Chains A and B, each alone.
Chain A
């Protein structure tokens, strides 16, 4: 099996409202991308996330975020723009994406670029659906990723 050029990792919990955004993007890409794009969903468990980060040279992480912006707002940045301070002092878990990416770098498991796509969520209640704004943002993100992988010739 040839190594895919790109891996899209949708992080989130499909059972927690807008936290489903990341996995939803991956599921909606499933029948549309070619073998050059690997698709993975993650619940944030760090050791499996580490393995997924090493699957391809180009890594695209999609996750729900909570920054106070309007629901459905999509933000992007690349690995180099990540806050240098990992902020782990406030966390009792290494489940932060930033931590997982940093750990993958330290362990030499990241060979290329990392891009983050964050979809602003409104509600994270258990067993609720995504809100319409996040649904729309998921679709926009899917189209964006289709265009981006077509551009790169991976689709």
Chain B
């Protein structure tokens, strides 16, 4: 072999995309400071997009995240169409929603089974959990595959779908191709119900937060890829008004930006926000199960996000089956674009929450300005607030147990592989000024 050295104590790079850090300082038993910061690749991509043709936006932004490429494609294509004063409707739009259902299933199930459930069942990791609960892990892996299959058939391939484009699709699937997905989705319907009942039985820390929930909302459906931006404290705006109501702050301690509602502060995007704002838009079957397992029409306990993710998986499976049943293959895979200078806005509900894109293009469709606000940036302040609340209840714990519960709190937000932490540098500093 060509090796120059041989060592086993290497720090596996694995995925470098996410690097994060959490620093807690406790002085004389009182929390003095809580800082959570993450590295955010989207910031880089904004600059990278400028000068490129409009058609590059969905392909390039999809590379930001290996877990939620569909979200990036959906927000970017809609923003470009908006810049040209156009909209994609009918089956072309339904296919976007179907593709998005696949991504919700994949992403939520991955997080629930391999990352979050071990916290609740008392295991250090999915590896340790799998030794005792192989059946649970296998259930999750099969359910996730049902989501993968949708993304493969509609998106053109499993990772970084290649079919979506500004104006629609490069290629649309036939009805028959979609119908092949049905048997496994029918199995998934029951599997998702079992999953909801399983995770609803976990023990949850009793923490309720006074969140300002922010999510897309649509009059006729549980908003995924289309809607107005709403909050439970009075915001009800068109996506194009995003920058009038929200702002981003540079935070000195990291290269990340924190988003806040102007003159109000922290807010929460993601499953809890969507569920609490749009409960009535879930189907009766999904609503009934949510109530049966003890979720009210709103959920303010961040630890119960795992149950809400289960509910959204069930909804996504049912919605995918409905969309496939109603699908009629369109004659053309995309609309004709009227490329012109303008500014466009697009937003969709990535698995982790609202994902906002804005582009300014010139008359040839060249990107002059790109703005991408990922959900994890929007939730950073809420994550810090949660950590503070959890800390107040847990200060008596030894450092290792304290670290565990703090990490679990961060995992409530499903910080994604690209947008959040992998090698989380977690430091709890306890000092005394006395004596």
Chain A contact residues, CB within 8 Å of chain B: 11, 13, 15-16, 19, 43-48, 50, 63-67, 69-70, 73-77, 81-83, 86, 88-99, 102-103, 106-107, 118, 121, 124, 126-127, 137, 140-141, 144
Cβ–Cβ < 8 Å partners of B424 in chain A: 90-92
A93 touches B403 (CB 8 A): no
Q: List 6 A-B contacts (CB under 8 A).
A: A16-B16, A19-B15, A66-B16, A93-B18, A121-B13, A126-B41
Flag whether B48 is at the interface (Cβ < 8 A): yes
6 closest A-B pairs (Cβ-Cβ)? A43-B66, A88-B125, A67-B10, A44-B15, A124-B16, A66-B13
Count chain B residues whose beta carbon lies closer than 8 angstroms to a beta carbon of A.
Answer: 58
Cβ–Cβ < 8 Å partners of A74 in chain B: 1-4
Flag whether B114 is at the interface (Cβ < 8 A): yes
Stretch at the interface among B137-145, B188-196, B202-210, B338-346: B137-145
A19 touches B13 (CB 8 A): yes
Name A105's closest neighbour in chain B (CB-CB): B127
Name A115's closest neighbour in chain B (CB-CB): B1
Closest chain A CB from B116 CB (angstroms)? 10
- Residue in contact with A126 in the complex, picked from B45, B114, B127, B145, CB distance below 8 Å: B45
- Residue in contact with B422 in the complex, picked from A69, A93, A118, CB distance below 8 Å: A93
Cβ–Cβ < 8 Å partners of A94 in chain B: 114-115, 125-127
A43–B15 Cα distance when bound, in Å, is 8
B8 touches A92 (CB 8 A): no
Closest chain A CB from B14 CB (angstroms)? 5
A19–B16 Cα distance when bound, in Å, is 8
B15 touches A13 (CB 8 A): yes
Given contacts A83-B9, A88-B124, A118-B10, contact A76 B3 (CB under 8 A): yes
- Residue in contact with B66 in the complex, picked from A45, A67, A97, A107, CB distance below 8 Å: A45
- Residue in contact with B2 in the complex, picked from A102, A106, A144, CB distance below 8 Å: A144
Closest chain B CB from A85 CB (angstroms)? 10
Given contacts A92-B424, A99-B126, contact A69 B13 (CB under 8 A): no
B8 touches A83 (CB 8 A): yes
B16 touches A11 (CB 8 A): no
B66 touches A92 (CB 8 A): no
Closest chain B CB from A28 CB (angstroms)? 15
A64–B420 Cα distance when bound, in Å, is 20
Closest chain A CB from B138 CB (angstroms)? 7
Cβ–Cβ < 8 Å partners of A118 in chain B: 10, 12
- Residue in contact with A65 in the complex, picked from B11, B44, B145, CB distance below 8 Å: B11
Closest chain A CB from B147 CB (angstroms)? 10
